[in-house]
Amino acid sequence: MNVICMGSSGFVGKEVLKQLIKNEKINKITCIVRKPLTGIEDNEKTNFIIQNDFSNYSEELLKELVKSHHACIWTIGGRRSQFPTQEEYEKVSIDYTITFATGIVNALKSTTTTTNPFTFIYCSGMGANEKANESIINRIEIETRIVKGKVERSLTEIQKSNTNLFNLLIFRPGGITENQNKFIQWLLSSFTVDLSHLSKVIIDKLINTNEISQDTTSTTIIFNKDIYNYN
């Protein structure tokens, strides 16, 4: 299986890339980045494409990507607090994601010769909801959840309009932790998930989707509890 890995320099994306490299069922990985990554072990699977502008891709690149890849794992975004302004956060989280997904679908329409849809995995977040309100319970990371909810809606609209071409999986992890002991993971399992485990589940679900005939008439959402309980 050949996979596009977007966000491979980030917290989640870097771990996803690490596990993709080690997975025997993954044959090729293409990372689209602004600059070469460091700290990635030498391997024959991984190819890096330097792209300065994530809001504008050439038709030739997109057509080549869909011809030679089965899926994309998208981990670009993060939390609102990680960005200097709301405008920048929305540009990276919404515009970049929808621009790429739309470009992929347009490329598929002009080049596809297979009956298998392209799988797009979007790493969202717990409580994603573009209509979230500012009640006391909902106030935590509300800007993040609203933006991720907008992305989910836009991707779902793309999927519904292209059910034979575009298969959509949305992951909604809670707080993503690293190297916590098993007891703490269990204690906080309603709200958090381990980074390594999350990455494993993303890749396993992707491979299973590719190997098994899927119903692509609706969007699949994997919640934090489903991620935690996945074996």
Other beta carbons within 10 angstroms of residue 114's beta carbon come to 12
* pTM, full prediction: 0.92
Question: With bands split at pLDDT 50, 70 and 90, how would you rate the model's confidence at 112?
Answer: low
The pLDDT score that the predictor gives to residue 136 is 43
Question: With bands split at pLDDT 50, 70 and 90, how would you rate the model's confidence at 115?
Answer: low
The pLDDT score that the predictor gives to residue 209 is 85
The pLDDT score that the predictor gives to residue 133 is 67
The pLDDT score that the predictor gives to residue 26 is 97
Report how far residue 97's alpha carbon sits from residue 44's, in angstroms, rounded to the nearest whole number.
Answer: 27
pLDDT tens digits along 45-70 = 999 999 999 999 999 999 999 999 99
- Check: CB of residue 74 under 8 Å from CB of residue 121: yes
- Check: CB of residue 34 under 8 Å from CB of residue 50: yes
pLDDT tens digits along 189-212 = 888 999 999 999 999 999 998 766
pLDDT tens digits along 72-106 = 999 999 899 899 999 999 999 999 999 999 999 99
The pLDDT score that the predictor gives to residue 90 is 96
The pLDDT score that the predictor gives to residue 135 is 52
CA distances to 4, 139, 215 from 74, rounded to whole Å, are: 8, 26, 21
User: Is the model more confident about 37 or about 144?
Assistant: 144
Q: Which residue has the tokens 């005939």?
A: 213
Region 6-32: mean pLDDT is 96
The pLDDT score that the predictor gives to residue 122 is 98
Q: In the predicted model, is pLDDT for residue 42 greater than 50?
A: yes
DSSP state for residue 196 in the 8-state scheme = H
Strands 166-172 and 28-33, by their bridges, are unpaired
